[in-house]
Chains A and B, each alone.
Chain A
Amino acid sequence: MRKLRVVIAKPGLDGHDRGAKVIARALRDAGMEVIYTGLRQTPEQIVTAALQEDADVIGLSILSGAHNHIAPRLMELLHARGLDDVLVVIGGIIPDVDIPKLKALGVKGVFLPGTPMQDIIDFINSNARARV
């Protein structure tokens, strides 16, 4: 089986990329292929990157409060492109009340500040499936 391919993206206008970069390195050190898109990616750009990179996982880092706009659009686009089997996880500052809404959209994992990197690695390893 090939390695898991993960697109790490930072949507929205926010530039705080410490978390995105740290998790990108951690996933890479855990044996995954990581593609970091850089800052200010629209949902359209992220989905295009996922298609082009044949991604198994999309990880979003959002700290600005824009998740309620970004996640629905991203999930809609993934569905339209037939990418429903891509595992989507979000890390960042997400108010408790918004977590069920994100889960209902199909976001599988929501990771809040202080989550150990190993928990995220384990979650991805047990929930994502590398395509053949």
Chain B
Amino acid sequence: MIPPPDPGVFPYTRGIHASGYEGKLWTMRQFAGFGTPEEANARYKALLAAGGTGLSVAFDLPTLMGRDPDHRLSLGEVGKCGVNVTSLADMETLFDGIPVGEVTTSMTINSPAAMIFAMYLVVAEKQRASWETLSGTIQNDILKEFIAQKEYIFPPRPSMKLITDIFAFCAERVPRWNTISVSGYHIREAGATALQELAFTLRDGIEYVQYGVDAGLRVDDFAPRISFFFNAQSDFFEEIAKYRAARSLWAHAMRDRFGAKDERSWKLRFHSQTAGVSLTAQQPYNNVVRTALQALSAVLGGTNSLHTNSLDEALALPTEEAATLALRTQQIIAYESGVPEIVDPLGGSYYLEELTSRMEEGARRYFDEIDRRGGMVAAIEAGFPQREIADSSYKFQQAVERRERIIIGVNDRSSKENGMPDEHPTATLYIDEAAGERQLEKLAQLKRTRNTVAVERALDAIRGAAQSGKNTMPPILEAVRAYATVGEMCDALRQVWGEYEEVAVI
């Protein structure tokens, strides 16, 4: 077998930088957020003070689904799984005392990505930070929502239009912003195998580039701002092979399929997060060890940024203590293990190189299949990736039940076997209804004090852009400045584009 070229050399199987982590470690970016913007703001300040080097915002379900706290579907969900952001006022609070020009912020937002991003841009404006140098990421990956995470609002094709609008807007106005984080994380959590995660995610990336090119953009004007997000699961070598294969597949797709000339377009940069689904409610302290091993595989695979999960996440959102331990886990790998000193230290191992090649070949077969189906949007409309994932997750569960797959503390060495109770952490985070009530009050007050005429005019302009096919970002920015809510802006687009409903397959 011919070993792949050196790190920093096309197709970057061994890494996008010749020097690896020398000089620059990965970004330690812990995903966090719950309750009101005031509470989340305090947690971010604590994370930065503990040595976190970037922020990562988790939004609650109403925000992710483009619903205001006063919508009937938001009942009981406000502030539960993330922070609630209804209008610019909330975004101003969320980043109060945090200089957005100096930190990099990742925001996990998809269907309403344009609206939340516009709010961040206006906060930057108010803090007098230049858009030219503003850096961070919006997830903005709608395809994996249809495939796995299921937080979609509009049908696939208009959703793709919103995304290409952001590509075009940022290429001109916010050049250092990562406009999309093409995500395999959720695909894997939904039950995909490592190969399916790799193949569907990379093929999603290809679909976005194709839509950008079809919208008239030059590939090298927007492709360098595309980043990726992978899961770090438990099969140690398979995961490392997956990251290596991903870099090579992307470099080839960008150069050969799209004719990209800029090296930055070829280089796949990725964030990774340890696998939430691997965490167990039983013997939760075991989760610290699982997370450490998963994080190590991501580092050996050359991750550019990393989130480590907390031990209590199968039980609740993490406590501050558990979140700190998770961050410490990365810091121990970074500063004690010596691993970051060598780039791709496992390169050349016959086993890993073989695994990497097999991953690449398998992914190319999936690419061919999806191309035959007319691309990823068409494949999603036909339910293809959804069915593949549902089959894999059921097979996995059956293997667990038959004990062909061992999960320590669950189907092997369980506390029940030993007649012991499960040892639980002393305290878990309990989120009550106060955040929901507070956000409702603030929304009512906002509606009394803002300029209603300006809001209505701005919402009309959003509808107008959606109907005419013009870029939607400028009218969305205007609506944000007028303190229109996420729900109102999404409703304006729902009126033009309609809502997506999936055909559920089991």
Assess the B281–A113 pair: CB atoms within 8 A: yes
Digit string of B431-461 for contact with A (CB within 8 Å is 1, else 0)? 1000000000000000000000000000000
CB distance from B210 to the nearest CB of A (A): 26
B393 contacts the other chain (Cβ, under 8 Å)? yes
Among A16, A68, A93, A117, the residue within 8 A (CB) of B397 is A117
Chain B residues within an 8 Å CB radius of A26 = 394, 397
Assess the B81–A65 pair: CB atoms within 8 A: yes
Which of B59-67, B159-167, B253-261, B361-369 contacts the other chain?
Answer: B59-67
Assess the A15–B80 pair: CB atoms within 8 A: no
B150 contacts the other chain (Cβ, under 8 Å)? yes
Q: Given the complex of chains A and B, what is the CA–CA distance between A38 and B316 in angstroms?
A: 24
Residue of A nearest to B409 (CB): A114
Assess the A66–B281 pair: CB atoms within 8 A: no
What are 14 A-B contacts with C-beta separation under 8 Å? A13-B61, A16-B189, A18-B190, A21-B393, A22-B393, A25-B506, A64-B77, A65-B76, A65-B80, A66-B80, A93-B315, A95-B430, A112-B281, A113-B314
Assess the B280–A34 pair: CB atoms within 8 A: no
Chain B residues within an 8 Å CB radius of A15 = 145, 149-151
A97 contacts the other chain (Cβ, under 8 Å)? yes
> Knowing A113-B281, A116-B411 touch, does A93 contact B314 (C-beta < 8 A)?
yes
B1 contacts the other chain (Cβ, under 8 Å)? no
> Knowing A13-B62, A21-B390, A93-B314 touch, does A39 contact B149 (C-beta < 8 A)?
no
Q: Given the complex of chains A and B, what is the CA–CA distance between A39 and B153 in angstroms?
A: 13
> Knowing A12-B61, A69-B75, A113-B280 touch, does A95 contact B149 (C-beta < 8 A)?
no
> Knowing A39-B150, A95-B315, A114-B281 touch, does A70 contact B401 (C-beta < 8 A)?
no
Chain A residues within an 8 Å CB radius of B74 = 13
B504 contacts the other chain (Cβ, under 8 Å)? yes
Mark out the residues of chain A between 6 and 61 whose CB falls within 8 Å of any chain B CB in the assembled complex. 12-18, 21-22, 24-26, 28, 34, 36-40, 42
Assess the A114–B280 pair: CB atoms within 8 A: yes
A125 contacts the other chain (Cβ, under 8 Å)? no
B475 contacts the other chain (Cβ, under 8 Å)? no
| Size class of the B contact interface (CB-based, 8 Å) | 35 or more
Chain A residues within an 8 Å CB radius of B25 = none
Residue of A nearest to B411 (CB): A116
Q: Which one of B72, B394, B410 has the highest number of Cβ atoms from chain A below 10 Å of its Cβ?
A: B394
Assess the A39–B504 pair: CB atoms within 8 A: yes
Q: Which one of A66, A116, A117 has the highest number of Cβ atoms from chain B below 10 Å of its Cβ?
A: A66
Chain B residues within an 8 Å CB radius of A114 = 280-282, 314, 407, 410
Residue of A nearest to B313 (CB): A93
Among A13, A39, A42, the residue within 8 A (CB) of B77 is A13
Q: Given the complex of chains A and B, what is the CA–CA distance between A112 and B316 in angstroms?
A: 12
Chain A residues within an 8 Å CB radius of B280 = 113-114
Assess the A17–B76 pair: CB atoms within 8 A: no
Among B76, B315, B394, B504, the residue within 8 A (CB) of A12 is B76
Residue of A nearest to B396 (CB): A22
A118 contacts the other chain (Cβ, under 8 Å)? yes
Digit string of A65-85 for contact with B (CB within 8 Å is 1, else 0)? 110111000000000000000
Residue numbers of B with Cβ under 8 A of A are 61-62, 64-65, 67, 72-77, 80-81, 145, 149-151, 189-191, 277, 280-282, 314-316, 390, 393-394, 397, 400-401, 407, 410-411, 424, 428, 430-431, 502, 504, 506
Q: Given the complex of chains A and B, what is the CA–CA distance between A39 and B145 in angstroms?
A: 13
Among B64, B77, B401, the residue within 8 A (CB) of A66 is B77
Assess the B316–A95 pair: CB atoms within 8 A: yes
Chain B residues within an 8 Å CB radius of A66 = 75-77, 80
Assess the A64–B61 pair: CB atoms within 8 A: yes
Assess the A116–B401 pair: CB atoms within 8 A: yes
Q: Given the complex of chains A and B, what is the CA–CA distance between A117 and B277 in angstroms?
A: 16
Q: Given the complex of chains A and B, what is the CA–CA distance between A28 and B316 in angstroms?
A: 30
Q: Which one of B390, B424, B431 has the highest number of Cβ atoms from chain A below 10 Å of its Cβ?
A: B390
Assess the B81–A117 pair: CB atoms within 8 A: no
Q: Given the complex of chains A and B, what is the CA–CA distance between A117 and B400 in angstroms?
A: 10
Residue of A nearest to B71 (CB): A13
Q: Given the complex of chains A and B, what is the CA–CA distance between A95 and B431 in angstroms?
A: 10
Assess the B150–A16 pair: CB atoms within 8 A: yes
Q: Which one of B64, B150, B407 has the highest number of Cβ atoms from chain A below 10 Å of its Cβ?
A: B150
Q: Given the complex of chains A and B, what is the CA–CA distance between A69 and B433 in angstroms?
A: 10
Chain B residues within an 8 Å CB radius of A96 = 424
Residue of A nearest to B67 (CB): A13
Residue of A nearest to B152 (CB): A15
> Knowing A18-B191, A95-B428 touch, does A70 contact B76 (C-beta < 8 A)?
yes
Assess the A13–B65 pair: CB atoms within 8 A: yes
Assess the A39–B502 pair: CB atoms within 8 A: yes
Assess the B397–A22 pair: CB atoms within 8 A: yes
Taking A17-B504, A114-B282 as given, write out 6 further A-B residue pairs in contact, using a Cβ cutoff of 8 Å, ordered by the A residue number.
A12-B76, A16-B149, A21-B506, A36-B506, A38-B504, A93-B316
Q: Given the complex of chains A and B, what is the CA–CA distance between A69 and B430 in angstroms?
A: 15
Assess the A17–B397 pair: CB atoms within 8 A: no
Q: Given the complex of chains A and B, what is the CA–CA distance between A45 and B369 in angstroms?
A: 37
Q: Given the complex of chains A and B, what is the CA–CA distance between A41 and B67 in angstroms?
A: 15
Q: Given the complex of chains A and B, what is the CA–CA distance between A22 and B277 in angstroms?
A: 14
Residue of B nearest to A12 (CB): B77
Among A18, A97, A112, A113, the residue within 8 A (CB) of B393 is A18
Assess the B401–A117 pair: CB atoms within 8 A: yes
Residue of A nearest to B190 (CB): A18
Chain A residues within an 8 Å CB radius of B397 = 22, 26, 117
